[in-house]
Structure 1
């Protein structure tokens, strides 16, 4: 078999892996964005919670 054949197979696998990485990365960024949005919604639309509310502490537990 020619070296070109192996290089083509390698290229197919590398491209497939890269697609998986990009898809997974997008899904995680989307999840983090949605989590942040929900936190702000839970805080009544404010960027920060009132002192002592403990929302993030409760979530981390």
Structure 2
């Protein structure tokens, strides 16, 4: 038999995080941003651009790859 986990009757309290703390966490671990852009006219794709970006701090990158 399978058991269904019950959900609590309350929602956790929302936490307030300062912008500098959020940026510190993102830069410490890094984040990858990706996206695609397609330029088309009347259903014909003319240009397709794939964008990829890695955002991290320089010290984090140097620790990960010492060479």
Asked if these proteins are the same fold (TM beyond 0.5), I'd say: no
TM value normalised by structure 1: 0.26
Higher helix share: 1
Higher strand share: 2
Q: Which has the higher relative contact order, 1 or 2, with Cα contacts under 8 A spaced 6 or more apart?
A: 2
TM value normalised by structure 2: 0.25
